[in-house]
Amino acid sequence: MARLTQLMVALLFSWPSLALADSDGYYCVGRGYVAYETRFAASGSQHVLHVLRFSRAGGIGQVQDIPLDDFQTHGMSCSDRVIEVAALSTRYLVDVSVPEKPRIKTLSASFEPQRTPQLNLGNWSREGVTDLEADGQQGEFQLVISRVSRQIAGGIEHYTVTHLVRRETTPGGRILAAQKLFEGIFLEAVHAVKPLDLPRGGG
């Protein structure tokens, strides 16, 4: 808990003035990379698979954007070579073994939750810290999801920010680098419930 608190303090400097950032934000993790998808952006609607690689020698790399067909994602899974993005009745298999030339193959298949987990790093994520597998030491690279909430008129506003961070592996090691993957706000509407005026029973 102390580690998560320290990371939140380091990464959340202020409450930004943001429009609603609407994104599916499903993700999966392979050895040395994290992949996540978005369907909505400020510049317009486009479905994109983002791949971010990391290593001890190269640190955190540049995000690679791979365009996808427009479909509702139901889950994702990652292996060393292939990212599987599952729609309701189609599987999109993205071969990233050659980063410069990703290849996409589609298969007709029903969605299987046990095959493609529904992990989220966007508005519907759960805050926490996840160690990522790479060629360095355990805990060198982490996925950090932080959330701050506040009460406003009409409900609760949740601010979520997700980073891939690299940190020293010594106890209490400081953050060496961070790449922001997601930032957004969503409103959890809270409606007042008017008590029912029930008739009293007669005596």
Determine the structural domain holding residue 161 and report its residue range. Answer: 2-189
Distance CA 201, CA 109 (A): 59
Residue 173 is which amino acid? Answer: G
> For residue 90, is it within any domain?
yes
Supply the pLDDT for residue 151: 93
Specify the 3-state DSSP secondary structure of 6.
Answer: helix
> For residue 138, is it within any domain?
yes
Distance CA 149, CA 159 (A): 6
Residue 181 is inside which H or E element, if any? Answer: strand 175-189
DSSP 8-state code for residue 100: T
Supply the pLDDT for residue 173: 84
Predicted structure pTM score: 0.78
Q: Give the C-alpha distances (Å, rounded to integers) separating 61 from 11, 33, 165, 185.
A: 19, 9, 11, 26
In the chain, the number of structural domains is 1
Distance CA 79, CA 122 (A): 22
> For residue 194, is it within any domain?
no
Place of tokens 């400020």: 42
> For residue 35, is it within any domain?
yes
Distance CA 142, CA 54 (A): 10
> For residue 133, is it within any domain?
yes
> For residue 195, is it within any domain?
no
Supply the pLDDT for residue 170: 84
Supply the pLDDT for residue 23: 45
Place of tokens 């597998």: 133
Per-residue pLDDT of the chain (203 residues; tens, 9 = 90+): 445 444 444 444 333 333 333 347 999 999 999 999 998 654 556 899 999 999 999 999 999 999 999 998 999 999 999 999 999 999 999 999 999 999 999 999 888 877 788 899 999 899 999 999 988 778 899 999 999 999 998 899 999 999 999 999 888 789 999 999 999 998 888 865 555 555 555 44
Supply the pLDDT for residue 139: 87
> For residue 124, is it within any domain?
yes
